[in-house]
Chain A
Amino acid sequence: MNRSRFLKSAQEPVKAILGDRLALVGLFVLLSIIAMALFAPFLSTHEPLAVNEREEGSLFMRSVDGDQVHWLASSPLGEVTLNAADYRDGLGMAVGRDGVVWRYAGDGWSPLDTPITTTLNAVNIREDGATLVAGAQGTVALWSPDDTWQTFEMPEPLSVNDIAWRDDNTALLVGGGETVWLLNLVSGEVTSLESPVGRGFELNSVALDTDGSAWLVGDRGIALRLDPQDDSLSLERLPGNRELNHIHIADSGAGLIVGERGTLLVREGAQARWQSQSAPDSRAMRAGWITDEGHAFAVGRSGIVFEREPGGEWQLVPSDEERHLRALMVTEDSFFAIGSDRFVNRLAPPSGEHWFGTDHLGRDLFSQNIHGSQIALLVGFLGAALVVLIGANVGLVAGYFRGRTETVLMRTVDVMYGIPFEPFALILVLLFEPSLFIVILAVSLLTWRTVARLIRSQVLSLRERPFVKAARVAGASDLRIMYLHIFPNVMPLVFLELAIIVGVSIIAEATLSFLGLGPPQSISWGGILHNARLSGAWRDAWWWNLPPGLLIMITVLSVFFISRSLELVANPRLRARR
């Protein structure tokens, strides 16, 4: 019988919600959000906190505006990394992963069809326009200007990292395992040269010197010199022992070697010695170029570009994006930098891959927003339940017992009213470690005050009603009267407050998370906005700001709509004359 009384008191609110169109819409939206929270792992397209990477055939162009030098990002060449590029007499070539080859003529870039599927690391154009490309697993192929390909067999499937032309029919190939091959293009014959080091160091780059000799550089700062007379290799001493990635020697004899951790070695002329120069940044430099006059350029990871006036200091030059640049291509009138390794796909606008774009760490925002619903609802409902539990009981006890009990409880409520929410929550978070529990506690500790006041005033009038007096005369205990006779009558009000406080709690949690006081390592809508603000990128990345706020808004709005129909139950006079 008692159970049926409670059921009855719950029946009316349900009827009220089902009878109100706005409330129905609210219920539908709220249920969708609940479903979103429950099925978040299935709905999200990515791991919400995983860093997403991308690669592309990045292409940067040097632009000079007055004194200001800037490397501008042009539209990328395809979607795979480009590793090397060369240019000679109006023809440019860039090669990359999966055997990709791009051809540059004065009017722009176009892809070439190739029989190669392995990664290409090196490219060098001969005087007649024939181009030798080489790469992983001993791949070596020659492209002729009549658009035919000729491939060569290497003795071992070692990675070839760079190419130089010894003469029109002989190419010098260097690569992994201290490999140095001389390839005769007419006969297809390959001669292996013995390195004096013999420890299997990777050779990364080769360049011809003005006297016909060749410089080979690689791992651990190794530098070999090839004598053109007898094809013998000798070890050269260069300053430093960091890995050297690229060497370029100009016709005048000026030379530049770049390497890991900002290594820059410069030779001012054919007879000069290699000298280490200080770099403005210590990231890995992947390619360098020096002009006959000694004007030098170096590019590397994260879009780093250095430039040096002849004889001057190296300067960091701004570039558009943090792409990992791997090669330089210099034509008569322009400089190109190309790349790029896999780079973090940061601040990407919405696309088919990332529906809501990505944040400053390249994390998928759609998945974050989906997962954010979990904390919002958890705090919203748990917080509200706790608030109503405390508030309703305090109100009930204070209103029913009156006297000293009431005074103490209601004075406590007064004190609670005097404490501002955010700073108090901040203290709680500093007192304890930030956690979900603390957030819920902070939300509920300062919100039950309203509920207590409302319930108490309702109870005050209810306890004077005849049915309460009748129960008392019949010998019912205080507890029985409070919870079985009075409580069902304040149920509509309790439901109404529950609904309102759910909305309040969700906003409160979002506010705390926005201020950086939310549980760490968890995803919430307020937290997403906190990251956006902290990173400073929110001023441009609208896709980062908009969805979490909209989601908070529609969630809270749907709860408010539901609460409005409950209000009609709690306060029937609002229904009057409708």
Chain B
Amino acid sequence: MSAIDSLFAKFRSENKKALMPFVTAGDPDLEFTAAVIRELVARGASMCEVGIPYSDPIADGPVIQASYTRALGKKIKLAGILDMLGGVAPQVDTPLVTMVSYAIIYRHGLEKYAAELAQRGVAGMIVPDLPVEESPQLAKICAARDLSLVQLITPTTPPDRALRIAATSSGFIYYVSVAGITGERTQLPPDLVERVSWLRQQTPLPVCIGFGVSQPEHVRLLAPVADGLIVGSAIVRRIAEANSQGRDTTISAVGDYLGTLLAALK
């Protein structure tokens, strides 16, 4: 059982919903990323998703792309990110999960990447460019180390395929709200609630919704049908915009924003 499995077992028994913020590792630097993770957890984040900057992120919209470009421009390396995670994991009581391209995992070595995550107390990984057909090898490696390998289901996934993905995912299922790239949206698809409700009846795994989720109204609408919500670009944008205001101000601004979403969760 991974730390994510334990978290959702507890949340389901208490009828609680998870809120998972996403931050880009190394934007503007790793010390800041560690501080912002600590702040988000202190404010009530249930998990933290940490984006490993990648040079060619095709699933990402302009906000997260730009954060990756900034981090890579400062020569942020995987080794440094893993060390930062190793430092912050024991300081927070919530699971950390990496969002990472398969290009990076392959280059590092599948076994080695999994071993290093486990060693540093990270709970798992989301690999947005690894569809279910290509995932068995990594899934096996993750399972052997009690790491979750979270798979994604999207509005273009046919129902039979969704069931196949659900059967191989672990930790939770990342339900992508829209056919598109990451980024804040005012409108979410009208059939989203229905699709997620259907999926949740098909699988014992928790289902979390991401892509576009950014406003308290989204949280109020979606929390009842999902196990958790993922908020990415809205946080990354606040970090980018607030940088000029000084670190402490930025960190509390991001914390305040998370607070408004958490309030909507109650």
- Say if A and B assemble together: no
Q: Which residues of A contact B (CB under 8 A)?
A: none
